Structure 1
Amino acid sequence: MKAIEKKILVTGATGKVGEAFINAFFGDPKQKGTIRALCHQRSLTPNNRLEVIHGSISDRPTVQKAMKDITHVVHLATTKEDSETIMDVAIKGLFWLLESCRNTSGFKRFILIGGDAALGHYFYPYKNPINEQQAHAAYPGCYALSKVLEETMLQQYYVQYNLDGTCLRAPWIMQGEDLKKHLTFGKQVFGVPVWHKMIKAQTALEYQKENIIPLMLDANGNPMKRNIVHMNDLVSAICISLDHIEARQQTFNISMDEPFNYGKAAYYLLKTRKIKSVKMKTKYHSTWLDNTKAKFLLGWRPEYGLEKIIDEAWGNVSL
């Protein structure tokens, strides 16, 4: 696809991925164009290449106004386990967006940021690495169902209207000290599991004081393998996908080359920082999100692996 002067609509722009993408786009001299951010309540730091529209994605006139003269959409707006709002945001909002895209002159590409929740995350056992041909399998709850429906809607717009779109399927997104905040028995924990709730309160307090981290075990009793992607790697995939000819009507797994292995992480932290771990049994299943397709077709490469994410979270080695 030939490079053009882009006018990108970003939904969910005030979320951490939205802000990271906007900053990367403006910081890259190769990226020409402007961004229009559709924000529900919060706003963004002013920039002469940024326009902000406030309103609800579920409101058709708001979406039509936001879509005027747009060439690309980066769709990030979502809601978690909120049954009162999730259909308005994930289904109704996406429908208004897709309808506007197909009726907007000069529109180029719709980029959906999906997630491995559409494949069941770690709730279901998979014998093989998960590629883009894997059937959808939402885990219990409305959020995972919404991710399945989003991907399905976009794919049907390929069929019905030959819309140009791309789905970037991302697992758990990490940056900065996120991993350190996850591997703690403290009450302020990032993500799930919430480790301190799985053991006695006094034991959790002792582990926290001794700086002991959890070593997550899967349903088979082996160190858990869990899919993660660093924020920078996801953002780079978005930027590549804006114009790449091979991204048209494709779905890509955007993840580390290997899943995050809690056993390897525990060993690395012990070796480099003398941080001890304790095994924590869970009912969840190890999985491997295969990123081969994105590397082959897009030329994308993740820069972050297990050790680099740990080093960023914990800082310089203290030994």
Structure 2
Amino acid sequence: MGIVSDGFVLVTGADGFIGSHLVEALVKRGKAVRAFVQYNSFNSWGWLDHAPPEALRGVDVVAGDIRDFASIRAAMKGCDTVFHLAALIAIPYSYQAPQTYIDTNITGTLNILQAARELGVSKVVHTSTSEVYGTARFVPITEEHPLCAQSPYAASKIGADQMALACHLSFGTPVAIARPFNTYGPRQSARAVIPTIITQALSGRPGIKLGAAHTTRDFNYVQDTVAGFLAVADSPNSIGQTINIGSNFEISIAETVAVVAEVIGVPLDIFSEQARVRPADSEVERLWADNSKARVLLGWEPRYGGRAGFMRGIAETVDWFRDPKNVASYKSDRYNV
């Protein structure tokens, strides 16, 4: 069936890491794209400012605030499909400003759902996160795994997910929930662990400062995550469903440092820095995705799966971070909350 193409495809959070890659992928598909970015007085479009001109050919960029219903409803007019990625995602900052996460992640999602209902949008792809599962109680983690909010961020995303499902069940809103595990790749903020490792490693300073290194994650290269979003939008079977987008490959943070060291070709020691350590009960110890539902329902599977795929994705990410113009705004010498 494919993405409905009679009108615009809207991407909220288009100025961010995954959102900017998704915009580029949609343009390559020949879609009419409207990119919703966070309003700011600098007129910055975030990572879209760094995209080559051909990647943004015909893109209608709209600045606004996901917390403001009027601005999001106006942006959604004439749109058939909506990819909702706009959110606050940094876990450490959610300890400091939990109300902001409620306002942005839950109220912002409600704004999308209400506008979709009023405007008759054909499909909303809502973005979840593997953090809603908390520390794995069983592995690999299926979509039936219990939800456990171990941070204010996770709680806000659970609330947003449940609002999306509630609108589908109550009003028939055509919502599908994409639940990506830990995405990495070019353009990711240094508040995430892989850019933190790479930028420190490339800086030439001895040692890598991290929080907990024993925890495990299911990392997904950004191109796989984007392909997962597109597959969710394409499939009529995804409406009303929550679908893991994960690699089904588990690796510890310490092992991830070793992979980066192997790719770069330098030995890397790990030093624990207390400021980077989450509160003990808030740390998600283990994440490992079961992606069988995505394979069966969507026909999606990761191209960067397994250890070999992970090394390939890390190599491509390192190559991007080696370019001085790409990392000009990064501050590798500081801890990014």
Alignment TM-score > 0.5, same fold: yes
Give me the TM-score of the superposition, normalised by structure 2.
0.73
1:168 aligns with 2:178: yes
Match of 1:236 in 2: 227
Residues 24/275 of structure 1: CA separation in 2 closer, same or farther (3 Å cut): same
Residues 83/225 of structure 1: CA separation in 2 closer, same or farther (3 Å cut): closer
Q: What is the aligned-residue identity percentage?
A: 22
Deviation string for 1:27-83 (max 9, x for gaps)? 23xx43332425322335575532222222222221221121211111111124233
CA distance in 2 between counterparts of 1:145 and 1:135 reads 13
Which of the residues 298, 301, 306 maps onto 2:310? 306
Show structure 2 runs of 5+ residues with no match: 320-337
Deviation string for 1:235-285 (max 9, x for gaps)? 111122222122221111112231234565566567676644557788652
CA contact (8 A) 1:9 1:74 kept: yes
CA contact (8 A) 1:37 1:50 kept: no
Structure 1 residue 113: deviation in Å?
1.4
CA contact (8 A) 1:7 1:72 kept: yes
CA distance in 2 between counterparts of 1:96 and 1:271 reads 45
1:58 aligns with 2:57: no
CA distance in 2 between counterparts of 1:242 and 1:131 reads 20
Q: How does 1:273-284 map to 2 (within 5 A)?
A: 275-278=266-269
Match of 2:14 in 1: 13
CA contact (8 A) 1:255 1:302 kept: yes
Residues 210/248 of structure 1: CA separation in 2 closer, same or farther (3 Å cut): same
**Residue type of the alignment partner of 1:85:** T
CA contact (8 A) 2:4 2:122 kept: no
Length, aligned pairs only:
286
CA distance in 1 between counterparts of 2:263 and 2:113 reads 49
Give me the TM-score of the superposition, normalised by structure 1.
0.77
Match of 1:260 in 2: 251
Match of 1:127 in 2: 138
CA distance in 2 between counterparts of 1:163 and 1:231 reads 28
Structure 1 residue 211: deviation in Å?
6.1
CA contact (8 A) 1:11 1:37 kept: yes
Match of 2:36 in 1: 37
**Residue type of the alignment partner of 2:234:** D
Q: How does 1:113-124 map to 2 (within 5 A)?
A: 113-120=127-134, 124=135
Residues 238/271 of structure 1: CA separation in 2 closer, same or farther (3 Å cut): closer
CA distance in 1 between counterparts of 2:88 and 2:211 reads 29
Match of 1:94 in 2: 109
**Residue type of the alignment partner of 2:314:** I
Residues 73/185 of structure 1: CA separation in 2 closer, same or farther (3 Å cut): closer
CA distance in 1 between counterparts of 2:68 and 2:9 reads 19
CA contact (8 A) 1:265 1:306 kept: no
Match of 1:108 in 2: 122
CA contact (8 A) 1:63 1:96 kept: yes
Structure 1 residue 310: deviation in Å?
2.9
CA distance in 2 between counterparts of 1:263 and 1:83 reads 29
**Secondary structure at the residue paired with 2:126?**
strand
Match of 1:78 in 2: 87
Structure 1 residue 130: deviation in Å?
0.9
Residues 274/92 of structure 1: CA separation in 2 closer, same or farther (3 Å cut): closer
**Secondary structure at the residue paired with 1:138?**
coil
CA distance in 1 between counterparts of 2:201 and 2:180 reads 27
CA distance in 2 between counterparts of 1:56 and 1:215 reads 32
CA contact (8 A) 1:38 1:66 kept: no
Show structure 1 runs of 5+ residues with no match: 190-207, 219-223
CA contact (8 A) 1:167 1:251 kept: yes
